[in-house]
A = this chain, B = another copy of it.
Amino acid sequence: MRILGIDCGSQITGFGVIESDGVSHALIEAGAVRTDSRQALPARLLHIGEQLRAVIARHHPDCAAVEDTFTSVNARSALKLSQVRGAVLFVLAEAGLEVGEYSPATVKGSVVGHGRAEKEQVAFMVRSLLRLDRELRPLDASDAVAVAVCHAVHQPRRAA
């Protein structure tokens, strides 16, 4: 199954496409969309959405996964992040992709084994799980791959 994981952010939105059978995972592409903070929000959302559309067109994922919105950051950041998330979910729904949503703790638990891991630990484990020769940068790309891996391991197993 091909999974598109997304790590939403108002400045940098990471994405990662993996091919997975639920046990072993192969990286197809990972990267990040940066937005210009001098631009108005609608233009930034459009840029993020269009870049994700291009990723979908390149790799035809079967499904997608994002993190839940979390309320632990300050209110203003959470509102900005939620607007990015809204635009991203719109684009995913438009592409006909089912979207899995996971808490940050569930994502970390899926790749590191516990829910309070640091970002660098997540990056280290993403590198290890996908047998990459180096860690993914920016960290947002690595986080997006972690979300995709989380979705992969949470799929019901099919009988062989």
Contact = CB atoms under 8 A, between A and B. Distances in A.
Describe A's contact surface by its main secondary structure.
helix
Interface string A78-100: 11101111111111111000010
Contacts of A94: 46, 49
A56 to B, nearest CB: 14
A80 B89 CA distance: 12
Contacts of A80: 82
Question: Copy number of this protein in the oligomer?
Answer: 2
Interface residues of A, number: 28
Contact of A86 (B43, B75, B84, B93): B84
Interface of A: 40-43, 45-46, 49, 69, 71, 75-76, 78-80, 82-94, 99
Contact of A45 (B40, B42, B86): B86
Contact of A79 (B40, B43, B69, B93): B69
Contacts of A69: 79, 83
A41 B99 CA distance: 9
Nearest to A78: B79
